[in-house]
Structure 1
Amino acid sequence: MAKRQGGKTLLFLMLFLMLASFLLWRFYQSWVFDDLEQREKLFAGFAEEAAARHQVDPALVKAIIWKESRWLPGALGSHGEIGLMQITLAAVEDWSRLQKQKMPKRAELFQPELNIEIGTWYLSWTLSQWSDYKSAEILQIAAYNAGHSRVSKLWRPESPELELDLEQISFPGTRDYIKQVLARKQHYRKSIHEHP
């Protein structure tokens, strides 16, 4: 009888510990992943490192992440965009081919460090396409949202010296996207200067 009682106690204790562990894990997840500021702190270092590697303004990388996913690493877009920077499989294929990297598995693209690396590389690549243009940053952000070929066909000024006014962006969603990213970029730039 004592053995049976001890077995039940042990089973109860194990179940209790499993439940307590689960509840603590859920509390930790909700504390980290339900709080934008905590998520940002968790992944900002990856954004800064990738920005330095690819010579992209870290405030721009952070603004894109904020706009695309609100710093949620598991974000999945309505058209299959993946992770923090909502990268597309086409961008991943470009990165893999041009950087001579093995094509990652889809699940790996949710890993924050890899996702930010590829997204930041893409930002750098798009900027290199328009580095001579006065409106290079607007073209870069538009390409991140609407695609490089669409930007080249629809909105690239005829001459690099010509300014691209935001109102010339014919897609309201892309125009709003650019405005929000630029505003958030200023927020991050200010915070970088306040807390170097």
Structure 2
Amino acid sequence: MIRFFPKVFVLVFCAALTAAGLTLCTSSDPICKLQSWLALGRYSAHDALISAAAKKRGLDPLLVKAMVWRESAFDPTKIGTSGERGLMQVGEAAAQDWAKAEKIETFVKTDLFDAKTNLDVGTWYLKRSLDRWKAKENPLPFALAEYNAGHTRVVRWIEATGRGDAATADELLRAMDFPTTRKYIDDITARQRFYQAGEGN
């Protein structure tokens, strides 16, 4: 009987390994799927807060979750190279704009380590950017570029297309001289599609 248990364990282990392999093989993005598994729940720990913040601004929660994944890998204590803080890597200037618009007089930059506050600021900034580019057929790349690189650079890239206000998202992407911003947009839109396929849990 005792000798029987190791064989059962091996069979169960092999079956689990096979099932995991099949799941990865049939996933739209096996690498993202594997990352989600290895995160051991960290990738879903803030789902309720993300959903609430996104809905408050009329945004797709899966887009916001994709941004949090790209910005901080769901680490609310992360500090960026330029001092950005928290889940959505919000800069102090953007946070001050938010505090002024929302009439919050008690805001201090360490508040950005609070997940709820950080998501509120980040989604406010994203919504403002989307509203700025809402006349575009596809405003999302413009808004994400602004979130990542700033409004001034987006305007410069639009001017570089030679098309002015008629510039399309594809033309904007081709005009970018920041490969990291182009990759930032690609990463987030791909991750949003991954979540929309129901594979991010």
Q: TM-score range by the shorter chain?
A: 0.7 to 0.9
The alignment partner of 2:41 has SS state of helix
The separation in 2 between residues aligned to 1:99 and 1:37, in whole angstroms, is 36
The separation in 1 between residues aligned to 2:126 and 2:92, in whole angstroms, is 15
Counterpart check, 1:58 vs 2:65: no
Counterpart check, 1:158 vs 2:161: no
Structure 2: runs of 5 or more not aligned: 1-37
Counterpart check, 1:167 vs 2:174: yes
The alignment partner of 1:64 has SS state of helix
Q: Which residue of 2 aligns with 1:115?
A: 118
The alignment partner of 1:101 has SS state of coil
Q: Which residue of 1 aligns with 2:185?
A: 178
Q: Which residue of 2 aligns with 1:131?
A: 134
Deviates more, 1:149-158 or 1:125-134: 149-158
Contact preservation (8 Å) 1:54, 1:120: yes
Listed as ranges, the matches of 1:1-196 within 5 Å are: 36-155=39-158, 158-160=164-166, 162-165=167-170, 166-191=173-198
Alpha-carbon shift at residue 37 of structure 1 (Å):
4.6
Alpha-carbon shift at residue 77 of structure 1 (Å):
0.3
The separation in 1 between residues aligned to 2:154 and 2:85, in whole angstroms, is 21
Contact preservation (8 Å) 2:157, 2:175: no
Q: CA 1:153 to 1:167, structure 2 compared with 1: closer, same or farther past 3 Å?
A: closer
- Residues 11-63 of structure 1, C-alpha deviations (whole Å, 9 max, x = no match): xxxxxxxxxxxxxxxxxxxxxxxx63512221011111111010111111011
The separation in 1 between residues aligned to 2:155 and 2:62, in whole angstroms, is 25
Rg larger in structure: 1
Contact preservation (8 Å) 1:36, 1:71: no
The separation in 2 between residues aligned to 1:102 and 1:150, in whole angstroms, is 30
Alpha-carbon shift at residue 103 of structure 1 (Å):
4.8
The alignment partner of 1:87 has SS state of coil
The separation in 2 between residues aligned to 1:140 and 1:171, in whole angstroms, is 15
The alignment partner of 1:56 has SS state of coil
Q: Which amino acid aligns with 1:163?
A: T
Percent identity between the two aligned chains = 34
Q: Which amino acid aligns with 1:105?
A: V
TM-score w.r.t. the length of structure 2 is 0.73
Contact preservation (8 Å) 1:93, 1:103: no
Contact preservation (8 Å) 1:51, 1:58: yes
